[in-house]
Chain A
Amino acid sequence: MRELISNIIIFIGISFIALGIIGIYRFTNFYSRALVASKVDTVGYITIVIGVMIRHGFSYFTMKVFFILLITLIINPLITHSIVRSAFISGYKLRKE
């Protein structure tokens, strides 16, 4: 039963990541690409890791996975912010609407 639930959750996470991959090829502007890639990717990451944690129950393994999830939740937005900030300061300007 627990394996079935975790398989479904992991599949949902993979479909989120697939949406992000479609997004980085569909959009033609850099900023919209950065937005869709980072957001959708972070959501997929959290979902897959929660699926893995449900599969293993309460154990040492789950604690380690939870620690990785915590670190990546802090680091991933920081990386995207630094890339986009570097692009904006160096003169990659947004198109005016």
Chain B
Amino acid sequence: MTFAVVALIIFSFLSAFRVLIGPTLWDRLLGLNLVTSKLIIIIILMACIRMESFLLDMALVYALLSFIGIIFISIYIQRKGRF
């Protein structure tokens, strides 16, 4: 289980590197989505290790919030700067 958490942290680091080097804006958005989904899995695994079920509420909050944020940014880009 600890191996899984360490591997997922390395993967999210690599996804964040895609955010840094991505040639266009949409590559960066894709990297943001990947980082968020990997972070949710990490939180679920940590809740499983520590046996604290309130960490799952955090995972739920993260999932809903990332949805709102990424949808807003992509609509902002699509309409060329207006909502």
Contacts and interface: CB of A to CB of B under 8 A. Distances in A.
Contact of B48 (A20, A30, A55): A55
Contacts of A17: 8, 11, 38
B77 A52 contact: no
A75 B63 contact: yes
Say what secondary structure dominates the interface of chain B.
helix
B4 A14 contact: yes
A87 B66 CA distance: 19
Interface string A48-65: 110010011000110011
B80 interface: yes
A26 to B, nearest CB: 12
Interface residues of B, number: 40
Contact of B40 (A60, A68, A82): A68
Interface residues of A, number: 45
Interface in B24-41: 24, 26-27, 29-31, 33-34, 37-38, 40-41
A51 to B, nearest CB: 9
17 contacts: A14-B7, A20-B34, A24-B31, A30-B27, A30-B30, A33-B27, A33-B30, A37-B34, A41-B37, A52-B45, A64-B57, A75-B67, A78-B71, A83-B33, A83-B74, A86-B29, A86-B74
Given A24-B31, A76-B37, 17 more contacts: A7-B1, A10-B1, A10-B4, A14-B4, A14-B7, A18-B11, A33-B27, A41-B34, A64-B56, A68-B60, A68-B63, A83-B26, A83-B74, A86-B29, A86-B74, A87-B24, A90-B78
